[in-house]
Amino acid sequence: MSYAYLFKYIIIGDTGVGKSCLLLQFTDKRFQPVHDLTIGVEFGARMITIDGKQIKLQIWDTAGQEAFRSITRSYYRGAAGALLVYDITRRETFNHLTTWLEDARQHSNSNMVIMLIGNKSDLDSRREVKKEEGEAFAREHGLVFMETSARTAANVEEAFINTAKEIYEKIQEGVFDINNEANGIKIGQQATPTNPALPGAGGAGGAVNSGCC
C-alpha cells in the first residue's frame, strides 16, 4: 500500500498505564486484559486518511519501567508525534508526567507533537485524577489532551488521528522540514519497498565492497 506520508509516533508513560493496550486497540481493534511487561520496544502500524491523503502511522511502543529509561530515550529521535500516557486510577502516574515531558522535550526534535492521554476512563469509580487536572496540565504545557479507554476503545482512534492531524497541519504550515527524516516524517514512495535492495544482486558475482566483515 502506498502512502503520502509516514509519521513516526512514540508512546511513553509509566509502566502499567496501558501503552501497549492502546496500541493494540488502535492497530488490531482488540483488548488484551493481561499484557506482559514490555521490554525494549515494540512496533505497530496503521494506515489512516487525513484530508483525503493516505497516511501511515508507524508507532513505537516503549517500556515504561524506570530500568529501561535510558534505552527508551534513544527512541525519541526522529519521532513526529508522542502519546504521553498516564492512568487516571493511579495518581503517581500523573505525578510523573513532568519527568516524562522533560525527557521528551530534551531528546526529541522541538516540533514533535505531544498528546497527553489519561487512560482507563472506563474505571471511573476508581478515578484518582480528575479530568480537569489533566486538562490543566495539558494547557500549561501546550499539549493536546484526551481521556481514553483501551478497554472500550473510547477515544482511542481520536487520540492517534488527532495527533496525526496536528502533525499534518504543521506540515501544511511549513513548520516541519519533511525532507529531513530526523523529523519523523517520510514522504511516501510509489511502490512498496518490501524488497530490499541488495549489493551483488542477480548472482552477477563480481567485486564486492571491502570492509564488509
Partner 1 sequence: MFNNFKNSFISAMEPDQSSTGWLRDKFPYGRPPFLQLLTADELRASANHNVRPIIVPRDLNLLPWGTGYAECINSGKSKWNEDQAAFCRHVLMDPDKRHPDLPYTYFGIFDGHAGYGAALAASHQFHDILHEMLVDCSELLLQRDEDNDNGIPQLNPTFPHPTYFQRRVSRDELIIGALENAFFHMDWLIAQDRKHYRNAGGCTACVALFIDGKMYVANAGDSRAVLCQRRAGARVAVSETQSEPNEIEPNPIDSLDSYPTAYSADHTPETERERLMNVASLKPHLMRQQYVTMEYAKRPHITDMGKRILCRQSTMKGWSYKTLTRNDLRMPVVNGEGKRSRLLGTLGVTRGFGDHDLLAINTGVQIKPFLTPQPDVRQRDLSQVVSIPDEHNEDGDYGVLVMATDGLWDVSENDAVSRTVFQMLSRYPKEKHRYTMAAQELVARARGKINESGHWRLADSKAAATVDDISVIVIPVYQYYKEHIEWTRNDTRELEKRRRKTVEANMAQEAANALNDIVAEEANVVEEPHIQQQQVTAQVETVPAQLTQEKKKQEDQEQRSNWI
Binding site for partner 1 (CB under 8 A): 36-37, 39-45, 56, 58, 60, 67, 70-71, 74-75, 77-78, 181-182, 191-213
3-state SS assignment for residue 60: strand
Shortest Cβ 83–partner 1 spacing (Å): 16
**Per-residue exposure over 41-73, b if at least 16 CB sit within 10 Å of its own CB, e if not:** bbebebebebeeeebbbbbbbbbbeeebeeebb
CB of 149 to partner 1, least distance (A): 24
CB-based contacts of 193, cutoff 8 Å, min separation 6: none
Beta bridge partners of 113: 81
- Residue 31's Cα: distance from chain center in Å? 18
Sign of CA dihedral 58, 77, 68, 101: negative
CB count within 10 Å of CB 146 equals: 23
CA distance 116 to 99: 13
Of the pair 34, 208, the CB lying nearest partner 1 is at 208
Q: Which is nearer to partner 1, 18 or 44 (CB)?
A: 44
The residue behind cell 492517534 is 160
Smallest separation (angstroms) from partner 1 to the CB of 73? 9
Measured distance CA(152)–CA(82) in Å, rounded: 22
CB nearer to partner 1: pick between 125 and 190: 190
Output the smallest distance, CB 211 to partner 1, in A.
7
Q: What is the DSSP letter of 49?
A: E
Nearer CB in complex with partner 1: 23/101: 23
Q: How far is the CB of 77 from partner 1 (least distance, A)?
A: 5
Minimum CB distance to partner 1 smaller for 67 or for 175 = 67
Cβ distance to partner 1 smaller for residue 78 or 134: 78
In the complex, least distance from residue 160 CB atom to partner 1, rounded to whole angstroms: 15
Q: What does the longest C-alpha to C-alpha distance in the chain come to?
A: 70
